[in-house]
């Protein structure tokens, strides 16, 4: 079971901006790595897919076919493994 702190760690208000941005990115990465709720997928149509090479191992929702697809780094494939 994953236990999360009730409140994220905060930096001193005098911390440099880069440190504040870095701390915020760590928190966001942690939330994505251990979600506590369903995650909303980016939505596309089959004819408007982003370049699979730009999004390896990412998942999207296909609104025109009501399916989920994953990028292999070279192509988008449906959740059942069939190519788009």
Q: Where are the domains of the chain?
A: 42-78
For residue 81, the 8-state DSSP code is: S
Joined together, the tokens standing for residue 18 give 């880069």
Q: Which of 33, 68, 31, 32 is nearest to 49 (CA)?
A: 68
The DSSP call for residue 54 is G
- pLDDT in the model for residue 29: 67
- If you average pLDDT over residues 30-55, what whole number do you get? 86
Instruction: Write down the pLDDT at residue 5.
Output: 54
Give the pLDDT mean for 15-41.
Answer: 79
Give the residue carrying structure tokens 């493994």: 81
For the chain, where are the alpha helices, taking DSSP H only?
A: 17-33
């Amino acid at each position: 079971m994953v236990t999360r702190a009730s409140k994220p760690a905060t930096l001193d208000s005098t911390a440099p901006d880069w440190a504040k941005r870095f701390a915020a990115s760590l928190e966001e990465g942690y939330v994505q790595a251990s979600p506590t709720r369903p995650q909303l997928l980016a939505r596309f149509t089959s004819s408007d897919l982003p370049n699979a090479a730009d999004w390896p191992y990412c998942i999207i929702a296909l609104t025109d076919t009501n399916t989920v697809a994953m990028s292999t780094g070279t192509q988008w494939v449906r959740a059942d493994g069939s190519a788009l």
